[in-house]
Amino acid sequence: MGSSTTNPLIKRAWYSATITEFLNSSDEYVLGLIAAQSTFSIELAQRNAWQDSFDILRKALSGFHGKLYFEFDIPRMGRRIDVLAVIGGIIYILEFKTGATTYLRADRDQAYDYALDLKNFHEGSHNLPIVPVLVATDAPSVPFALVSHGRMAGLYETVLANSDNLRHCLTKIPEYISSEPFDIHCWENSRYYPTPTIIEAARALYAGHGVAEISRSDAGAQNLQETSETLFQIIQEAEAKNFKALCFVTGVPGAGKTLVGLNIATQHIDAKVPRIFLSGNGPLVKVLREALARDMVEREKRLGKKIKKGDARTKVKAFIQNVHHFRDDYLKDLRAPAEHVALFDEAQRAWNQNQTAAFMKRKKKIQNFSQSEPEFLISVMDRHEDSWAVIVCLVGGGQEINTGEAGITAWVDAALEHFPHWHLYISPHLHESEYGSGDVLKAIAEHPTMICEQKSELHLSVSMRSFRSERVSEFVKKVLDIEVAEAGRLLEEINENYPIRLTRDLDKAKNWLREQASGNERYGIVVSSQAERLKPYAIDVKSPMDPVNWFLEGKDDVRSSYYLEDVATEFHVQGLELDWACVAWDGDFRFRDKTWKHFSFRGNKWQRIAKAQRQLYQKNAYRVLLTRARQGMVLYVPTGETSDPTRLPAFYDETYAYLCDIGLQTL
């Protein structure tokens, strides 16, 4: 399957050969090589589809010179390109839909997404022309058209072909593209560094890929892999030496903390000692569960098998759970859990003792509950008497957005006071202000018996979310901290690869999103949960929305983010992401007199937020909103309305002026 066994791209194709070699080989020979590399049993329908594509390609490629790759892997998506062809300096993505009589929008987007993925994440393809071609074998012929992407040089919209005119299309395309042959060996050996969304990553991990296969190969991704490997080592050592360990992983927004947790949870998923991924983030749990269940059904279908979605959901639920449900189960069940490894995502959001006690009294009829949520959760894992257990706390900086969130201090305090026999493994960055850990390191150092080890590998320093610019989270921090000069400098640095725009016209913001997004790149409107006076602009934070539909449904579903009707708040989007986002800015968080002013809408008017803790939650809410987009965002600040005392222009004008002063380009 190619001359070099170390070649990362050749290994991703089940069969590769020159066009001449392919044309001179029998169907049985090519099919045998493909089948030999298949990771699943070949069903008759799949075998027939491959043979149909062989017939079409033999007719279309006669006389052409280049190279073919069958079943070419796209790691970020966990999918395979039917055929990738390199001919005359042009890369063709050929997606076959055998028996299709129409050119479906979803099929066009699928082919385009493959091309976009290659352009974005394969280093050797950055500067090469890439043309996706949808071959709907039985569809009617349509006039040939080659349309440039516009924003991204060398990328083209999907060309539509059928079994009869594919050759004509392949002949016409080079007439419109200036290209030069390139070194195919160098191209094959260039780095592929995907940056998946958390949903894509979860699907790939659950399907058996490791974090190294679905993450980039630069320094940031190396850190991601090192963090995972360090945690695996701690787990193995705890099991071998029979001790209990509490680990803290820190990271900047979008650095991949959740990805690390899912990687640990899904590796060796059928092992005798199961692991569980826990999150207090209800929307994240719902979206990931549904995405994985759907993916399981689809993967089984491709293998010629059937599984009910309900059964798939049950399987997924076994290792991804809402932390509050896990807590409630073990309030009633006093036995040790089946799992010896528990991974708590966004551990800083666990409830403090007051919040936990109030909930227990109100909902569970338990009086005088004396433990914080971290203390109780550690106690559950501590039930493994004379045995081992590992808790991994994934900690986000500046991510507390709700009343009663304990921060990371509660975890450490619980360990120091009640579980001193546990070993601590901490990130050296845990002391930094955004992690809210106070004098934690000093308290640990002064404890007479606590074993604690600092590991630099437990900090993720590079954002993986904004693959076009890794300094977006730093820019957002400067904006929120009112460091105008630094924010402006960073904006100049990131704007070319990560466009950020500003507007006072919501229609312009929506159109900008639609123009920027390509293929199935997801876009939507995000807004503060306190932004109650955007309602006149049809942005209603009180309107019920289902995050599963918002994040997973397609462009033809009115409930999806694509429709730009339902909006998501910080509670819906924390831990998840979009490719492109419109951040709608209300008068709840307004710039005035060179500082931020904090308001909450009560009854029929805005009321000043006086408590420092609530002010921090609100600032963090905007931090979450401003770090959701992977590729770019537009900020929408209304003009207000002089006739409406709840939407006076004064509530918005200084915020808009401040953002302009930073240097944001306006629409």
* Nearest to 323, CA basis, from 292, 360, 358, 349: 349
Q: What is the pLDDT of residue 3?
A: 33
Alpha carbon distance 200, 145 (integer Å): 31
Please determine, for residue 377, whether its predicted confidence score (pLDDT) is greater than 80.
yes
Please determine, for residue 522, whether its predicted confidence score (pLDDT) is greater than 70.
yes
Q: What is the pLDDT of residue 210?
A: 57
Whats the size of the chain, residue-wise?
667
Q: What is the pLDDT of residue 380?
A: 95
Q: What is the mean pLDDT of residues 97-121?
A: 90
Please determine, for residue 525, whether its predicted confidence score (pLDDT) is greater than 60.
yes
* CATH 3.40.50 domain extents, the chain: 226-281+319-460, 472-666
**Which CATH number does the domain 226-281+319-460 belong to among 2.40.50, 3.40.50, 2.60.40, 1.10.3470?**
3.40.50
322: tokens are 């809402």
Q: What is the mean pLDDT of residues 420-436?
A: 78
% of residues, the chain, pLDDT over 90: 53
477: tokens are 């921090």
596 DSSP β-pair partners: 591
First to last CA, the chain: 51
What rounded mean pLDDT belongs to the chain? 87
Alpha carbon distance 639, 537 (integer Å): 11
User: CA 225, 228, 233: angle at the middle one, nearest 5?
Assistant: 125
pTM as predicted: 0.78
* Nearest to 599, CA basis, from 621, 582, 579, 574: 621
Please determine, for residue 351, whether its predicted confidence score (pLDDT) is greater than 60.
yes
CA 183 to each of CA 171, 190, 435, 583, 640: distance values in angstroms, whole numbers, following the listed order: 22, 11, 48, 44, 58
How crowded is the C-beta side of 424, counted as CA atoms within 13 Å?
Answer: 24
Q: Which of 89-98, 318-327, 409-418, 434-443 has the least mean pLDDT? A: 434-443
* Nearest to 536, CA basis, from 644, 625, 626: 644
Beta strands in 419-515 (DSSP E): 423-426, 451-454, 459-460, 500-503
Q: What is the mean pLDDT of residues 37-46?
A: 67
Q: What is the mean pLDDT of residues 62-91?
A: 86
Please determine, for residue 270, whether its predicted confidence score (pLDDT) is greater than 70.
no
Q: List pLDDT tens digits, range 553-606.
A: 999 999 999 999 999 999 999 888 899 999 999 999 999 999 999 999 999 999
The answer to whether the Cα torsion of 214, 219, 223, 229 is positive or negative is positive
377 DSSP β-pair partners: none
| More reliable by pLDDT, 412 or 22 | 22
Please determine, for residue 179, whether its predicted confidence score (pLDDT) is greater than 90.
no
Backbone angles phi, psi at 353, to 5 degrees: -65, -40
Which fold is adopted by the domain 472-666? Answer: Rossmann fold (3.40.50)
* Nearest to 553, CA basis, from 103, 106, 120, 74: 106
Please determine, for residue 385, whether its predicted confidence score (pLDDT) is greater than 70.
yes
Contacts by residues 514-520 (CB-CB < 8 Å, ≥ 24 positions apart): 516/151, 516/580, 516/631, 516/632, 517/579, 517/580, 518/112, 518/116, 518/149, 518/151, 518/152, 518/155, 519/109, 519/112, 519/113, 519/116, 520/109, 520/110, 520/113, 520/554, 520/555
Please determine, for residue 532, whether its predicted confidence score (pLDDT) is greater than 50.
yes
3 state SS for 372-399: CHHHHHHHHHCCCCCCCEEEEEEEECCC
70 DSSP β-pair partners: 15, 83
Please determine, for residue 195, whether its predicted confidence score (pLDDT) is greater than 80.
no
Alpha carbon distance 615, 588 (integer Å): 10
